[in-house]
Amino acid sequence: MFPIPFYIALLVSLPQNLLFCILGLNLVNIRKTNLLHLTIISSITAIVAFIIRKTNLPFGFHTFIDLVFLTILLHLFLKLNFVTSLISSLIGTFILAALEAVTLPILGFLGIDILNISNNPPMIFLCFLPILFASILLLFIIKKTNFHIIDLSSR
């Protein structure tokens, strides 16, 4: 696992975790949430991601640890039951992973060396921008159409 500078944790991990939360919660039809709580949750998970990336854990393991922390923090801060927290975390993580899976090959096709971006922290941020914009567009569509995968709002 390659370490990331703290400013990249703030510029990428924090909004990424916020999107995990917001997308996941909206897709389980939990729409009225406290943005301050979500920002605190995202900040904590960004710090955890920053610390984890400094270790020699295999690539991808940080995502699993982030997912566990995100689930626990959603449960504690938003007072959701654990299963609802887990399902919304999994859905949010899956959606962003899918967006990355679509976006990163396109960036590679455009000549950006995705395999060596860890050597260029500003490039990490620039590669995140299309994912961020796609996520915001997706969230706008979800909110506008009131789309959800499963309704866990009563849980």
Per-residue confidence in pLDDT tens, the chain, 155 aa: 556 778 887 888 889 889 889 999 999 999 888 999 999 999 999 898 888 878 877 777 878 888 899 999 999 999 999 999 999 999 999 998 898 888 888 877 887 777 777 777 788 888 888 889 999 999 999 999 999 999 998 76
How many other CB atoms are found less than 10 A from the CB of residue 155? 13
**pTM metric for this prediction:** 0.85
Annotated domain spans of the chain? 6-145
In angstroms, how far is CA 37 from the centroid of its own chain?
A: 15
Helices (H), the chain: 6-8, 14-27, 35-52, 61-78, 82-109, 121-145
Give the CB-side neighbour count of residue 86, counting CA atoms within 13 A: 4
How many other CB atoms are found less than 10 A from the CB of residue 39? 15
